[in-house]
Amino acid sequence: MDEETIKKYMEAGKIAKKAVELSKKIVRPGTSMLEAAQKIESEIIENGGQIAFPTNISINSIAAHDTAFPNDARVFKDDDIIKIDIGVHIDGYIADTATTISFNNNRSDMLKASETALKNALEIACPGANIGEIGGVIEETITSFGYKPVSNLSGHYLGQYTIHTGTSIPNIKTSTNVTLKEGDAIAIEPFATDGAGAIRDGSRATIYRFIQNRPTRLQAARKLLAFAQKSYSTLPFAARWVKDPQGFMLETALGQLVQAGALHEYPVLKEIGGGTVTQAEHTVIVLDKPIVTTA
């Protein structure tokens, strides 16, 4: 990885860190999810970054892939455990980071479990490290706190304008020959839960990604597909970002395009046992002395 690329990863990381710091100030009981998402994303743009994916705001047993939808009326409650997952890019070089926010010290041990698992994993994220062993460190750390890692969620490799390049960084010990290489860009993201230790797709989606052009007779669907291809050809977008169509026509267009294979939808991910989930995440450039871009 050349110096210019490292610089862009690091700049994206600095902006993502600022957005996380803002989230900790503005996410409070009574604040709306929509307002929080909009302020976090505005912070990214104002600091010179681009949004790599819609700000994920996932509460309690929802582990990931939730964000505010158009006219969302949801507000944060006193006992909520809130995962804020933020993506920033500079020229396609992505910083992916997450934190968990709790009010009144609620579930503090579970927060510490995911944070400590991340810290321990980062310490061994060097060239030659086996990714299955990294998963083992995460699993061992979380279970030592009396919780379970979410076994079917994982970290991932990052590519230019690509959030998931296909190889996962597991959150449990696995048998694999895959090792980290110098210059890899990866996101490590432990999830801890007091539930069953796995997630399933929920019944709704608020985040989508363009896949391919497909013929459609509905004008609203054609407008939406043109928007998705032009503005977010490889990166996900939120339904609330779409200005035209809106309302019922937006829902109809999204449904038709998903069914036609033109858009990929990201359903919210829910813990299968109804357990609460915490998350911690940083982006790392793998070198002899790893660079944690979002710390």
For residues 154 and 170, give the distance between their C-alpha atoms in angstroms, rounded to a whole number: 5
Residue count of the chain: 295
Tokens representing residue 71 in the block: 């006219």
Of 66, 189, 194, 265, catalytic? 189
For residues 85 and 100, give the distance between their C-alpha atoms in angstroms, rounded to a whole number: 9
For residues 18 and 14, give the distance between their C-alpha atoms in angstroms, rounded to a whole number: 6
For residues 54 and 65, give the distance between their C-alpha atoms in angstroms, rounded to a whole number: 9
Of 41, 96, 184, 265, catalytic? 96
User: Does residue 288 carry a catalytic annotation?
Assistant: no
Give me the helix-helix angle, 247-259 and 219-231, nearest 10°: 70
User: Does residue 156 carry a catalytic annotation?
Assistant: yes
Half-sphere exposure of 71 (CA within 13 A, CB side): 5
Of 35, 140, 164, 251, catalytic? 164
Of 65, 115, 139, 156, catalytic? 156
User: Does residue 91 carry a catalytic annotation?
Assistant: no
Smallest Cα–Cα separation from 44: which of 54, 58, 59, 35? Answer: 54
| Close Cβ partners of 29 (under 8 Å, ≥ 6 residues apart) | 75, 76, 77, 78, 80, 103
User: Does residue 282 carry a catalytic annotation?
Assistant: no
User: Does residue 164 carry a catalytic annotation?
Assistant: yes
For residues 10 and 28, give the distance between their C-alpha atoms in angstroms, rounded to a whole number: 29
Of 139, 184, 271, 281, catalytic? 281
User: Does residue 194 carry a catalytic annotation?
Assistant: no
Of 11, 85, 265, 271, catalytic? 85
Catalytic annotation, residues = 85, 96, 156, 164, 189, 281
